[in-house]
Amino acid sequence: MASNPVTKLTAEEYLALDRAAERKSEFFYGEMFAMSGVSMPHARLQTNLTAELFAALRGADCEVFGSDLRVRVSRDMYVYPDVAIVFGTPILGDQQHQDILLNPIVLFEVLSPTTETYDRGLKFQNYRTIESLKEYILVDQAKVRVEQYILQPNDTWSLRDYKSLDGQLEMPSIDVSIPLARIYDRVELSAS
């Protein structure tokens, strides 16, 4: 029985291909995955988050980045989170291109039906290896639900679950609070 070996990319090969491509791709242990377009609710949530965080952090020692900045999780994993926040000076993994962030303190992912399982599972498992990361926040695009994982001093992660537009997303690592009503502003939610 013949087998077809799968050729794995190196991180360097991935970076060269991704930088030359018209569309972004993520890298996971030798495989490159093209990122698809997003829905209107996803785009609005991402824009609302970026705008609110930018306004809240103006003048602070933090910086907000949208989904166009690549984050290195490990030698074998590069991703484009929906929103990344850095405390202090951004540390870049490539000084020439300046397109790889190494030290996010907060990462946001807006959940999509095709990525939800990955974002909650394997991606979060790998995100937890980022030394600087203190908070991981998942935002549902179909209903009001924000799940916030916060790193505790004993190296465990606790969950805060927000389900009401009256709530406030409180991010202790950056000392910012944002009303959920602003996160979900103009986002059409499903009836269920």
Q: What is the pLDDT of residue 5?
A: 55
Categorize the per-residue pLDDT at 119 as very low, low, confident or very high, splitting at 50, 70 and 90. Answer: very high
Contact 101, 69 (CB under 8 A): yes
How large is the average pLDDT for residues 156-166?
97
- Does pLDDT of 192 surpass 80? no
129 three-class SS: coil
Per DSSP, the chain holds a count of helices (H) and strands (E) of 5, 13
The residues spanned by each domain of the chain are 39-183
48 three-class SS: helix
CA dist 18 and 34 (Å) reads 9
Q: What is the pTM of this model?
A: 0.94
Residue 96 identity (one-letter amino acid): Q
Each residue's pLDDT tens digit, 44-54? 999 999 999 99
Strands (E), 23-134: 25-28, 31-34, 62-65, 70-74, 77-79, 83-87, 100-101, 104-111
Contacts of 151 (CB under 8 A, 6+ apart): 133, 134, 135, 157
Could you count the other beta carbons within 10 Å of the beta carbon of residue 157? 16
| 30: region left, alpha or beta (phi > 0 left; psi from -120 to 50 alpha) | left
- Does pLDDT of 2 surpass 60? no
What CATH number should be reported for the domain whose range is 39-183? 3.90.1570.10
Q: What is the pLDDT of residue 1?
A: 45
Each residue's pLDDT tens digit, 83-116? 999 999 999 998 899 999 999 999 999 999 889 9
